[in-house]
Amino acid sequence: MLPDAPAEFAELDDLSAAAYGHAVELGRFDAGDIAERLSLTPAEVERARQVLTRLRLLQPMPGEPGVLVPVGPDVAAADLVGSAEQRIRDLQQAVTDVRGRLLSLNPAYFEGRRLRNRLEAFDVIDDVDTIQSMLDHLGSRCRQEMFTVQPGGARPGDVLDAARRSTLAIRSRGVRIRTIYQHPARSDLATRAYVRDVTAAGVEVRTADEVIDRMIVYDRETVFLPAHRGPGRPPGAAVVREPTLVAFVCSVFEHLWDGATPFVPESARAPATADDLRRSIVRLMANGYKDEVIARRLGMSVRTCRRHISEITEELEATSRFQAGVNAARSGLLDGGEPHG
């Protein structure tokens, strides 16, 4: 018998099939004749009879219930599986009915969520799994627009892989997606490959020299921001739904977006972003920030930041950070112009 088959669905073995063939020739199941023809023991003949009876291939003759006669396989199949097929149809109909009744509650669910969002204007969540669950839920429900700001430079490969799957799934529903990175992300091969894949699907990506902080906005209704904790406390997320605060965050994003540079992986626009980065470093140097702070604000490693500072100081013919700032101001570099003697 098959492992997952109902008990009445016996396995038709070769011996039972041979016995069935002889019964068809005789027009009835004669145990003695079949035993003689097939050289079977009485126990083997009895087992074949039981198998054929369970498979409905042998049925009592009308008026003579003691005589078993063979019936056609199609008749036996209809008799054997008919009730099971009906149960399957009934179960499918029950599933359809339940799904229909539950989905009819969708309007009430989304209206209730909208009203609840107004009441639950602000939440701070510490649990990482809960945060990810909420992000997945809002991503699957996003209908019109999603935009994100991702500070720092390169992101880990596994994070990019997960982001690629999620972003392409959301974009496939026609949702407009915009993302802002910082300029150092342009030099990372994995990030360039990710941007190449998502922009091919219609996602818009730009980079800026400085951004404020990480943010994710869904349909201009819900905003995820990092929850800043004290030293030694785990990071979390602040979920904002209050319309005025959400509108403010959206305005900040639009301001950053307007000043950012389109990220086209195959483009030759890297020199323009390199100039932006250099001006930002000089400006922060002139304001007295230390290397570590400059690196953090511009999304790069301290080592890379110090290399840039060294090159800029040498180019400006300065012997100190202060003199570099003065020379940069005189050359017009801080004003966005080309350096001049």
Q: What tens-digit pLDDT sequence spans the chain (341 residues)? A: 433 444 455 678 888 899 888 889 888 898 888 888 888 899 998 999 999 988 889 989 888 888 899 988 888 888 888 888 888 999 999 999 998 888 888 888 877 776 766 666 778 888 888 888 899 999 999 999 999 998 877 788 888 999 999 999 999 999 999 999 988 888 888 899 999 999 999 999 998 887 788 899 999 999 999 887 666 666 789 899 888 899 999 999 999 898 888 888 775 444 455 667 777 777 777 777 777 777 777 767 777 777 777 777 777 767 666 667 667 666 666 655 444 44
Q: Which residue has the tokens 């998502």?
A: 198
As to burial, measured by CB atoms within 10 angstroms (0-12 exposed, 13-18 middle, 19+ buried), residue 23 is buried
State the first-to-last Cα distance of the chain, in angstroms, to the nearest integer: 93
Token pair of 22 as six digits: 């002889």
Amino acid present at 186: R
Cβ(266)–Cβ(251) below 8 Å: no
What percent helix, strand, coil does the chain show, rounded to 5?
55, 15, 30
Cβ(68)–Cβ(82) below 8 Å: no
